[in-house]
Structure 1
Amino acid sequence: MSEFDALCANDGDLADLRVRVRRFVAADRDRFGWKPEIDSWLTSWDAGFSERLADAGFVGLTIPTEYGGHGLGFLHRYVVTEELLGAGAPVAAHWFADRQVAPSLLSYGSEEQRRRLLPGIAAGRLYSAIGMSEHGAGSDLAATATRATRTGDGWLLNGTKVWTSGGHRAHFAIVLARTSPLDPEHRHAGFSQFIVTLDAPGVTISPIVTLDGHHHFNEVTFDDVAVGDADLLGEVGDGWHQVTAELGFERSGPERILSTAILIFGVIRALGTQHVDDRTAAEVGDLIGRAMALRQLSVSVARALSDGQDAATRAALVKDLGTRFEQQSVELCADLLDYVDDDGDLRAILATARQHSPMFTLRGGTNEVLRGVIARGLGVR
């Protein structure tokens, strides 16, 4: 296989999978009438769609068959993800559980945890939130103040998480907490992760409503929440290593370059019906060229993950470059829309994209912090 073929991600059975997903999405949209959305992986929650997608065999692709999944690789999931985001499909309900929690359970979870949680995730019916960020610990997760204190038969969890996407609808959250006192010389030591049901006594979920009136973020407070040993994910004290690996899946996926895909595709299709000058054609070419380069970088990370390689540095690079491209693409598309006779649909999508644009470089770790991760990964001090 040539290097170009590898970057196309259509080798083997991937091309057939891509066609099947594309057909499913088109048929499901025609039948159920959902509308493509900007940032669909974060804001478009549709439990029915997630269940239908799972029933069609497109959720839990990387989960082994003995846990209800399909036993395929990260590239298979990448292809499905790319097609779903390119169509702006409403995938938020199952997103975090399928993207981050399932790989973490397979890497670090106990056999009991896998059998308890993975079948529901693969069925698109068990939803998870991620409890990492706090008011004083956003991109710098080493400042996490949430604590889990040992008790006779488990742990007591106290603290507050913020920007918890889907927390008001999720069944459980994976929560990062400090289980040992802070050592200023080793800030990344002493963390553990816990599986916490979000209807447990002591859990309070407060909505964070964005400027556009939408509620997908939350503040989640844990007040002496009892967590059993069976819900410790991995080993005590290994939380930082686990989170770092988990963030590789979060930062490198196509959602870091395709959040604005429906706007870009829509503008280009509209321009195809217009007479455009050479300058406009060059702007379109630049936009597509940058998108293709970023996609190829993202695919290369997916292949590295498929091969079991450490891709943390490359994942951070994808997130930095990809989210900056997403932000810049919004205003590039706004300029290109001046050449389009639009009925208002694209301008409505543009308005939503502008509202979401400031978030692109913040979530998943701010780009400024990620540049430090990249520098360290390259050996720069």
Structure 2
Amino acid sequence: MTTAAEHPWGRVDAEGNVHLRTAEGERVIGQWAAGEDSAEAIAFYERRFSVLETEVDLLEKRLASGALSPTDAGKAIEIARGNITGAAALGDLASLEARLTALEPVVEKAREERKAARAAEQEQAQARKTEIIAQAEKIASGKDYRGGADKLSALLDEWKKLPRLSKSADDALWHQFSAARNTFMRQRKTFFAEQDEARAKAKKVKEKLIAEAEALSTSTDWGPTAGAYRDLMSRWKAAGSAPRGVEDKLWKRFRAAQDVFFNAREAANEAIDAEFAANAEVKEQILVEAEALLPIKDLEATRKVWHDIADRWEAAGKVPRSRIQELEGRLRKVEQAIRSAGDQEWKRTDPEKSARADDMIGKLERAITETEESLAKAEAAGDARKVKDLTAKLESNRSFLDMAKKAQSDFS
């Protein structure tokens, strides 16, 4: 730093006046007390210039980094020029002004670039808002009333983050987007209102079905009541869903009523099966006798024994459900063997024996008629177990009838 009265850009005269040299000549920029060290005056005004120079340096750096918008940069240049013009400072003020002037085209270029970027941003924003409107209208035309609301909310959030367009353009686009949202929300409100109404109706229907189910739960008329519960279940499904939080409670009550009935029926069937266990033991003993008839050596003797076995089999009564297939299957094997042997025998026996076939046909036809009458009564009463037993008996008698008729045809 210069400490003498002379300075490259000025001087301090004997009267203490501080002069700045410019291209137009000297001008007084300040007064310093006469007799005091003029070097201090020089240093003081140098510092003032340094402040101005720092201001220009900082402005150049901020503009180069993009930290200043073109508008703010223009204002900053004007402020800096005002500070430099006529400034009381020792230094090359003209160079500072030239540096400021050199920044003006930079600012103008940045302004044009900012304008172009803004235009591109506006174009992109308008395109995206148009896309959002199309998506919103598609949602509004659909029936996804649960997911659609979330999708529209997300589109609205995105819309708010997009740059605004001109007022007229932005208002027009917003009107379209808002119209789509409002249409969807009205439809959604109507849908859920109708759904709530339907659920409320379903609740009333199911409460009535529960009352019917509970009234039937103590019935011991197993067949018809089981059918009634199947009908109730069909009506339950057809009623639709009750309101959330209510449906599960209603179902538990409805199911509980059914469980009371079906558990009681199961217990009754188990008791019946226990009662029929003794019958199964009798039939097992009969089966031992029946299976001992095989292989057949004397058909006539076998038939006599077989008729007795068949009568005792019917008289033995019902067996537990779990044993029916096993026991009946074993008996039918013996029956089939006798039938096959009979077929062979009838082919080579005297026609006079057809009389026995006629007699057998008569007995079997009467037995079938009686069984069919009993079966019809059981079906009318809804006694499923009796229906099943009589059906099996009817099939057995019909099988015997077929055998008898086959024999008759052989002798005719």
Provide the TM-score with structure 2 as the length reference: 0.19
Larger Rg: 2
Which has more strand, going by share of residues? Answer: 1
Larger relative contact order, structure 1 or 2 (CA cutoff 8 Å, min sep 6): 1
